[in-house]
Amino acid sequence: MGTNHTKGPTVPITPLYRRIADQLREEITSGRLGPGSRLPTEEELQQQHGGVSRNTIRNALRELAAEGLIETATRRGTFVRQHRTLTYHAVSAERADRPSSEGRDAFYDEVHAQGRSPSQDFAMVIEPADAGVAARLRVAEGDLVVARSVVRYVDKRPWSDQISYYAMDIAEQAGLIVAQDIPDGTVRAMARAGHEEVGVVDEITSRMPTPEEARVLDITAAGVPVLLYWRTTYSTSRPLRVTRTMFPADRNCIVYELGELVAYHEGLRVTVDQDQAR
Amino acid sequence: MGTNHTKGPTVPITPLYRRIADQLREEITSGRLGPGSRLPTEEELQQQHGGVSRNTIRNALRELAAEGLIETATRRGTFVRQHRTLTYHAVSAERADRPSSEGRDAFYDEVHAQGRSPSQDFAMVIEPADAGVAARLRVAEGDLVVARSVVRYVDKRPWSDQISYYAMDIAEQAGLIVAQDIPDGTVRAMARAGHEEVGVVDEITSRMPTPEEARVLDITAAGVPVLLYWRTTYSTSRPLRVTRTMFPADRNCIVYELGELVAYHEGLRVTVDQDQAR
DNA sequence: GGTGATTTGTGCGTATGTATT
DNA sequence: TAATACATACGCACAAATCAC
């Protein structure tokens, strides 16, 4: 009540909780608090900073969590996040002479090569095209399109959420309207029906996930964005496919390899973590 | 003080602040609260939800801010963020027969074409290579490399933060150790010195910015990640250049156009916003 | 395998500062 | 100048999850 602790009559140009956050951040980025190490408890932090209120400490911690630097676990404490298993998701540039099969084989190969176990959930629905899909597929908004979705897992952990859209006529001709995975790949199925992919346009951006997206991709920590990756493929005459893939950004990296890369492949394939650890 | 408000004896499976956030999110995503529109004040929200505490409302709002959905301004209120000027940053796939000049011309053309004014701050320093640069450039960590950095602006607003690294010997031969922009482009300068870029490896990822990065890129709102884009280029025998570019993710999109795209260019170039608005 | 202690999660209340209208 | 509305900071209480014994 009357406890006026006349402590800060000075003008704290930067707020208290932010100064505390700055101090902790420095501990982390400098390496004194390495990945996986535990921070002091909230109460300890209160005392270390001259008995500030718990809310102030929590504000500071929330700041760092939003930056993706730490994560908290009830009862266990607060920990420096480790951007561990930074398996990178390579997207090789598709070439006209080597069409991939919707990436499925590539995914399996990639994951198997790393000694981990891939799996996936598949679904097919027919639905009206929203604005984004309609514009890319060049159909009218609301036209029915075939949507084939795959959620991929590595060691039972969700890795990517992908959905591909096809115009009705092409889907019918290529036999894509089946509620199962197409072993051979939809790309080859379309090619057999006379629709060969000869060019692609990729759009890559990023944003924070919705709670639903975070749930699907098992993003538990705050401060982890998703990578949004749209691929539109074309035959010589029209768009064939629109694929929208969402990745948790802390576990993935999109890689393009273009041109002559003998010099690249000669050297050892270095998979440095992409500056995630700052 | 002894006001024990025996209000919630029930088990609120989802916390109160989260339910309030869910409700507000629905208002926004459904469009009832459009971009730019103002939310009720915190006090109004308290009343609308049966007189909950202000902290609870603020928790809900912080949730939405961290998702990039809203932003708050002292005294003015809380607003639905508008992912407005979604100018997209096109990165055309470089081809061996058409090397670009470090992107500078491309940037100027791109921005000018949209009737906006580009500008940039340039700097050159010689510094030891960190682990990421060293591995990509295939020099030893700590070896001195030439770093040429550019911060690009569109209408005086920061757009990207880019820094390119060159091995010392190549930089000397190509005359890159000058503290000015090279009008012709460093790529052509290297080519003249016998180091021609014939292949590139791009790595794209995303994370939340550090406060310093947010300051440089003028990212004021919470919940806005940055796109991290590494390009390593190769001659037939070795890595030539490592370029690290950082973009605010809410204003940028990286685009690749690969293969034959007559069908794409025939149709109007649709620049749909990339699902940023959900 | 339960019990208690620890630690974060949620929610309440209050006061004052600061920027803007 | 005054009022408004968000920002920061203090305090408290209890719940829930987990770890150690």
CB contacts of B200 in chain A (<8 Å) are 256-259
More confident residue, A182 or B241: B241
- Dihedral angle over CA of B177, B179, B183, B185, nearest 10: 40
Q: pLDDT at position A117, please?
A: 83
Average pLDDT over residues B128-135: 94
Of all residues in chain B, what percent carry a pLDDT higher than 70? 83
Q: Sign of the CA dihedral B162, B167, B170, B173? A: positive
The pair of structure tokens assigned to A246 is 């969402």
Q: Quick check: A210 CB within 7 A of strand D?
A: no
When pLDDT is cut at 50, 70 and 90, the band that residue A2 belongs to is very low
Q: pLDDT at position A101, please?
A: 46
Of all residues in chain B, what percent carry a pLDDT higher than 90? 53
Average pLDDT over residues B106-122: 80
Taking Cα atoms as reference points, which of A46, A45, A56 lies closest to residue A15? Answer: A56
Q: Quick check: B9 CB within 7 A of strand C?
A: no
Q: Sign of the CA dihedral A15, A17, A18, A22? A: positive
The pair of structure tokens assigned to A121 is 């959930």
- Over residues B204-262, the pLDDT tens digits come to 999 999 999 999 999 988 999 999 999 999 999 999 999 999 999 988 888 888 888 88
Q: Quick check: A15 CB within 7 A of strand C?
A: no
Looking at the predicted structure, is the pLDDT value of residue B178 above 80? Answer: yes
Average pLDDT over residues B67-71: 92
Looking at the predicted structure, is the pLDDT value of residue A269 above 70? Answer: no
Please answer whether residues A252 and A88 qualify as being in contact, where contact means their C-beta atoms are separated by less than 8 angstroms.
Answer: yes
Looking at the predicted structure, is the pLDDT value of residue B52 above 80? Answer: yes
Looking at the predicted structure, is the pLDDT value of residue A85 above 80? Answer: no
Chain C nucleotides with an atom closer than 7 Å to a protein C-beta: 5-15, 17-21
- Contact between chains at B93 and A230 (C-beta distance less than 8 A): no
pTM score over 0.75: yes
Q: Sign of the CA dihedral A47, A70, B248, B95? A: positive
Please answer whether residues B197 and B94 qualify as being in contact, where contact means their C-beta atoms are separated by less than 8 angstroms.
Answer: yes
The pair of structure tokens assigned to A81 is 């996040």
Q: pLDDT at position B113, please?
A: 74
Average pLDDT over residues B20-45: 91
Mean pLDDT of all residues in chain B? 83
Maximum mean pLDDT: which of A2-6, A199-203, A268-272: A199-203
- Contact between chains at B200 and A259 (C-beta distance less than 8 A): yes
B104 Cβ contact list (under 8 Å, min separation 6): B120, B150, B181, B185
Please give the sequence-ordered ranges of beta strands (E in DSSP) within chain B, or none if there are none: 70-73, 77-80, 89-90, 118-128, 144-154, 157-167, 199-207, 226-234, 239-248, 254-259
Q: pLDDT at position B84, please?
A: 53
Compare CB distances from B199 to A138, A259, A278 and report the shortest one's residue: A259
- Over residues A201-239, the pLDDT tens digits come to 999 999 999 999 999 998 988 999 999 999 999 999 999
Please identify among residues 238-257 of chain A the ones whose CB lies closer than 8 Å to any CB of chain B: 238-239, 244, 249-250, 252-257
Contact status of A193 with chain B (Cβ, < 8 Å): no
Looking at the predicted structure, is the pLDDT value of residue B10 above 90? Answer: no
Chain D nucleotides with an atom closer than 7 Å to a protein C-beta: 4-19
Alpha helices in chain A (DSSP H): 16-29, 42-48, 54-66, 104-113, 131-137, 168-174, 186-192, 211-216, 262-266
Q: Please give the Cα distance from B78 to B60 (Å, whole number).
A: 12
CB contacts of A141 in chain B (<8 Å) are none
When pLDDT is cut at 50, 70 and 90, the band that residue B60 belongs to is very high
Size of interface A-B (CB pairs under 8 A): 217
Average pLDDT over residues B69-87: 80
Q: Which nucleotide is nearest to B18 (CA to C1')?
A: C10
Q: pLDDT at position A192, please?
A: 93
CB neighbourhood size of B203 (10 A): 23
Q: pLDDT at position B204, please?
A: 92
Please answer whether residues A258 and B202 qualify as being in contact, where contact means their C-beta atoms are separated by less than 8 angstroms.
Answer: yes
Mean pLDDT of all residues in chain A? 83
The H or E element spanning position B192 is: helix B186-192
Range with lowest mean pLDDT among A80-94, A122-136, B25-39:
A80-94
When pLDDT is cut at 50, 70 and 90, the band that residue B89 belongs to is low
Q: pLDDT at position A275, please?
A: 46
Maximum mean pLDDT: which of A40-44, A238-242, A256-260: A238-242
| Cβ < 7 Å from strand D, A residues 63-82 | 73-76
Quick one: three-class SS letters along A183-196?
CCCHHHHHHHCCCC
More confident residue, A251 or A131: A131
Average pLDDT over residues A126-142: 95
Q: Sign of the CA dihedral B188, B194, B198, B202? A: negative
* Torsions phi, psi for B137 (to 5 deg): -85, -10
How distant is the Cα of A248 from the closest Cα of chain B, in angstroms? 9
Of all residues in chain A, what percent carry a pLDDT higher than 70? 83
Average pLDDT over residues A37-64: 92
Q: pLDDT at position B98, please?
A: 42
CA angle B252, B256, B262 (to 5 degrees): 125
- Contact between chains at A260 and B201 (C-beta distance less than 8 A): no
Q: pLDDT at position B259, please?
A: 83
Q: pLDDT at position B230, please?
A: 93
Looking at the predicted structure, is the pLDDT value of residue A99 above 80? Answer: no
DSSP structure class, residue A244: E
Range with lowest mean pLDDT among A139-148, B46-55, B120-129:
B46-55
- Contact between chains at A208 and B66 (C-beta distance less than 8 A): yes
The pair of structure tokens assigned to B90 is 């096109």
When pLDDT is cut at 50, 70 and 90, the band that residue B92 belongs to is low
B250 Cβ contact list (under 8 Å, min separation 6): A207, B68, B81, B83, B221, B224, B276
More confident residue, B260 or B151: B151
Range with lowest mean pLDDT among A225-229, B29-33, B181-185:
B181-185
When pLDDT is cut at 50, 70 and 90, the band that residue B91 belongs to is low
